[in-house]
Structure 1
Amino acid sequence: MSRRLPPLPQLRSFEAAAQVLSFKKAAQDLNVTPSAVSHAVLALEDYLGVKLFHRIASAKRKDHALMLSDAGNILQHSLMRSFDDIEEAVKSVMAQGAADILTVACAPIFAKSWLMPRLHRFVATHPDVNIRINSTLNPSESLYGGFDVGLMYGRGVWPDQISQILFSETMVPVCSPALIQFNQRLDKPQDLVHHTLIHSEARLVTWSMWLENAGVRGINPAKGLHFNRSALAIDAALNGLGVVLEGRTAVQDELNKGNLIMPFEGPLLPDQNDGYYLTYRTGRGDVPKVAVFREWVLNEVAMQKQ
């Protein structure tokens, strides 16, 4: 249906000026010049064939003081209601758009090493689900920041959350195959004395603890390269910079590809922070987008463990 309406910018300029009774202040609100507001209002008055403002000259002001005419009052009240309705409709539509997105909070190394190599399968089977991935090391921040599902690292106990264990993490020493091709032998834990230790400070199990459990003496457990993120520590190992002590889950794909190896048998220490969990807020498990993603993650984990 065709509507006989003046241009929207003219209506918006009038409504802004009517609220503050000033072209200058309205221009500041609209981020335009006062002249632009004045011309828009004049054009609207020409279109309607009525005066919307009484312009009152003042010796104390460079511009004219404004006062709404009777027609201006009628139009202002109607436009305020209409613009309020439009604003609410826009907010509602934007909220609906946000509701259609599945937001997944994920530990950074788990996102990089486990989720990213598999996510294409979820996208292929659920093309109607839009996904946002937010990586975070802080479970509390993730679970209370508007996230639908968490793939988090911890002990699995968070307030108001349902948690399902995915993997219990075990710490293992790994390195690039190139490291032992071109450097000193690395057949047993004691051979670490000839190599650089790579430390992932995000982990609670340290080289000191691992070496003690392996019965290794004569190695300074603090030597080597230190990184505050597991992903950086693993990248250092991939580039042949040394031997990293990392979680088996975090390095499993690189082990499968042959990019990393476990050079010798040694103690398999459970990480004191337990493992990786799938989490979601209590009462939200049956929300369709949460349910399909949870089912997919659990199926992927089951296939990996076969």
Structure 2
Amino acid sequence: MKLLSRVALAFIFIVPVFVCADIFGRDDRKDILQVLAKNSLARSVAVGVLNSLWTDLGNGHSSLDINKMSDFMCRDERFANQTSIAYACSGFLVAPDLLITAGHCAVTFGEIRDVTDQYCEVYTWMFDYDSKMNPSKIANDKIFKCKEIIYATVSEKGENHDFALIRLDRPTVNRMPFKISDKSVQMNEPVTMLGFPMGLPLKYTDNAKVFLPQYRSRSFLTDLDAFSGNSGSPVFNAKNEIVGVLIGGNPGISTYADPVQGCERYNSCDSKGANCKSLAPSYPLQGFPNTFSEVQSLLFYKDIINKSMSSK
């Protein structure tokens, strides 16, 4: 891998680009290419990529410095033969040039507005990252820079805030922005998700539900299978409306070491969120709601989203 720039290195050491909730029961992640009914939704989901991983080929294309999951995962684990983007985040369109992601993908801590440097200079956003993409030749029209971080907030005191709204350097074309639901989620409501777990090509996750509709005021808890890289993933209701953005989870370890094979395996828990493989059996806080994937509701941010849609 090429050397990272100083700004990228600084970013890596101070930004927690992780989720870490892992697998609850069966692994419900699916390659987007296997879920044809969701392909139109997939076009509006982007992966955040460190600028330092790109090389401009000078012919309308760029190459991406990328790893294989099998570089660290056991080869018999799911998707071990696929690529993995380091320090990835997920994001999604709510207007042709407006993208939402998790706050911790755009700011270390606190609240910022109208920022054009710092994290805005570190990430690009790439669309159409699936398992057929050739990382050595990617069309530049799929790659978008951050023009401005309109608003980003990260705070865990009292009400949990973890949200970012980014304006891209140009409008996207033929990518349908998502509609945000105007209703709160309900107990046992089914939810689905699109995102890039551990920097993998786009995955669709289903067979999940809400088991705590209100958590720390602005969030709700689900049993979505989520990993680092899912930060910023759009979470949908049954109408394919956005009900929130994936921001965190527990357990806080995505993988565990296989002492025999000398490689990493996905952490998983049973269907009740207990018996997690990355935790000691004596660990006291296992099972729902102590284990979870946390989703930030977007109802609290609709005003700033709508205002940004009407102004350029």
State TM-score, norm by structure 1. Answer: 0.22
Report which of the two structures shows the higher radius of gyration computed on alpha carbons: 1
Structure having the larger proportion of residues in strand = 2
Structure having the larger proportion of residues in helix = 1
Higher normalized contact order (CA 8 Å, seq sep 6+, divided by chain length): 2
